[in-house]
């Protein structure tokens, strides 16, 4: 397992903070072994948390033009028909995946095709499961047009802990199913807005794996 490049700054900051913490405990509390050990434990805990958050495990991507795969690890928290007003201005099937701080936070293309739309929206930091987080939180909207002519919209949505959304594509880029398109730091969710005609392959509360779990299939 490797560490994602988005994690390097956070890891460096954590190491520097841990070094400062250990220096302070040694300088001021050397006569109190329990304080020294608490300092060591806190430093180790923070480093382990940061390393696991930015882990980048290998995934086996089986490219299938008929499948729409999970763009992220997490749990399915929404499956419902909604009115999509940013791009389509019509009804779409929304499937939302909530990522806890313990999940891998790499985001991957759910389908192959051409990137037709990319837009970043500054916003609030409501908890990621809040109904208004899809439209009021900091977020990025991307749309990919499939070879079959259908388009899939997906949003990276910041949560209460997230403060930075990273996305890589620009309009007219080629999207390859399973490849990385971005990263969200520290808790968040991804919404998929799909054609209503798709056949859903997941259920509410189901845990999914990015680039591997089939979310739906085109009909």
Domain boundaries, the chain: 2-56, 67-217
Across the beta sheet with 180-184, what order do the strands follow? Answer: 106-108, 180-184, 165-167
pTM here is 0.85
103-133 per-position pLDDT tens digit = 888 999 999 999 999 999 986 656 655 555 5
As annotated, the active-site residues are 188
Residue 10: its H or E element: helix 8-29
Residue 119: its H or E element: strand 113-121
Q: Which fold has domain 67-217?
A: Glucose Permease (Domain IIA) (2.70.70)
Give the span between the Cα atoms of 71 and 143, in whole angstroms: 13
136-182 per-position pLDDT tens digit = 678 899 999 999 999 999 999 986 555 678 999 999 999 999 999 99
Model confidence at 36, in pLDDT bands (50, 70, 90)? confident
Give the span between the Cα atoms of 18 and 159, in whole angstroms: 26
CA torsion, ordered 184, 134, 126, 53, to nearest 10 deg: -20
Q: Which of 13-27, 62-76, 203-217 has the lowest mean pLDDT?
A: 13-27
CA-nearest of 37, 49, 43 to 17 is 43
Across the beta sheet with 199-200, what order do the strands follow? Answer: 67-69, 214-217, 199-200
Q: Which of 22-26, 78-82, 153-157, 166-170 has the lowest mean pLDDT?
A: 22-26
C-alpha distances in angstroms, 133 versus 6, 62, 121, 156, 206?
Answer: 24, 32, 12, 11, 21
């Amino acid at each position: 397992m490797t560490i994602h490049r988005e994690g390097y700054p956070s890891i460096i900051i954590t190491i520097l903070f841990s070094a400062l913490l250990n220096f302070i405990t040694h300088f001021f509390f050397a006569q109190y072994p329990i304080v020294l050990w608490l300092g060591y434990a806190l430093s180790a805990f923070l480093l382990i948390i940061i390393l696991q958050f930015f882990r980048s495990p290998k995934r086996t991507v089986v490219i299938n033009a008929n499948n729409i795969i999970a763009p992220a690890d997490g749990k399915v928290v929404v499956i419902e028909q909604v009115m999509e007003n940013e791009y389509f201005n019509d009804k779409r099937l929304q499937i939302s995946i909530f990522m806890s701080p313990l999940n891998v936070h790499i985001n991957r293309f759910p389908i192959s095709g051409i990137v037709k739309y990319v837009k970043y929206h500054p916003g609030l930091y409501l908890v990621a499961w809040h109904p208004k987080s899809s439209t009021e939180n900091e977020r990025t909207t991307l749309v990919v047009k499939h070879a079959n002519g259908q388009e899939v919209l997906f949003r990276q949505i910041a949560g209460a802990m997230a403060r930075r959304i990273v996305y890589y594509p620009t309009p007219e880029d080629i999207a390859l199913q399973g490849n990385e398109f971005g990263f969200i730091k520290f808790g968040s969710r991804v919404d998929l807005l799909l054609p209503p005609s798709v056949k859903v392959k997941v259920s509410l509360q189901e845990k999914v794996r990015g680039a591997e779990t089939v979310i739906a299939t085109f009909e």
